[in-house]
Amino acid sequence: MIVSTDQQVINLILSASLIVKIVIGMLIAVSLYSWTIIFLKRSIFSNARKQAEQFERRFWSGIELGELYRKVSERRDRLRGLEAIFESGFREFIHLRKQAGNDPAFVMEGAQRAMRVALNREYEFLETHLSFLATVGSTSPYVGLFGTVWGIMNAFLGLSKMQAASIETVAPGIAEALIATAFGLLAAIPAVIAYNRFANHLERVIGRFDNFVEEFSTVLQRQARN
């Protein structure tokens, strides 16, 4: 009876020592959680780009800022991205401008500070869980290697108790041990690729937000002098 490679791998995992099983189980759990984060972050960054494009079209369409602020602030769902930055900055701008005696420079400083706070919140939101992907990518191969070393050690300890040693006797134990390294790589490679990709997306999105802060500040400066 010919046993398939997949079935052989399953049999090796089931017959592995407790430590190796624990290592493989940890790597599988970490890998599944990493993939959950990957799909979640992919959706978040995609939505962030779309929302930024839509808001910039509305902002530069010639709509009156007060009207845009009213429409944005009436939204009941939590504001994200450029909408949150715009709402924070313009709200502070209106508040400070209503107070008597505030010069334009003071008003602008307060509005820019509010926008920077909102920008930092957006950065923290977009950056969430990226450090986990980086940790998985850097540590999973070593965790798998630990399982491999432990499995090979057990294989050679068992070999020392045998009268006659051959490749047939030592091969299953070594193969069992090497599976841990394979699972470590399977967990690490997608995490590393995803982290690098999302880090690039984060830099581009935050750069876009930062450019908007500067452009909006210029618009507010003109209004502050009127």
pLDDT at position 199 is 95
Determine the pLDDT at residue 8. 67
Nearest residue to 126 (alpha-carbon basis) of 193, 75, 200, 73: 200
Domain-embedded: residue 8 = no
Single pTM value for the model: 0.82
Tally of domains in the chain: 1
Range of the domain at 64: 18-224
Quick check: is 152 in a domain? yes
53 belongs to a structural domain: yes
Token couple for 171:
């091969």
Per residue, what are the HEC states of the chain? CCCCHHHHHHHHHHCCCHHHHHHHHHHHHHHHHHHHHHHHHHHHHHHHHHHHHHHHHHHCCCCCHHHHHHHHHCCCCCCCHHHHHHHHHHHHHHHHHHCCCCCHHHHHHHHHHHHHHHHHHHHHHHHCCHHHHHHHHHHHHHHHHHHHHHHHHHHHHHHHCCCCCCHHHHHHHHHHHHHHHHHHHHHHHHHHHHHHHHHHHHHHHHHHHHHHHHHHHHHHHHHHCC
Q: What is the pLDDT along the chain (226 residues), one digit of tens a residue?
A: 344 555 666 776 776 778 888 888 999 999 999 999 999 999 999 999 999 999 999 999 988 999 999 999 887 678 899 999 999 999 999 988 887 567 888 889 999 999 999 999 999 999 999 999 999 999 999 998 888 888 777 767 666 665 555 555 566 667 777 888 889 999 999 999 999 999 999 999 999 999 999 999 999 988 877 6
pLDDT at 1: 37
Asked whether residue 208 is assigned to any structural domain, the reply reads: yes
pLDDT at position 148 is: 83
3-state secondary structure 129-177: CHHHHHHHHHHHHHHHHHHHHHHHHHHHHHHHCCCCCCHHHHHHHHHHH
Note whether residue 10 is domain-resident: no
- Give domain status of residue 130, yes or no: yes
Is residue 110 in a domain?
yes
Cα separation, 133 vs 33, in Å, equals 9
Inside any domain, residue 11: no
Determine the pLDDT at residue 6.
59
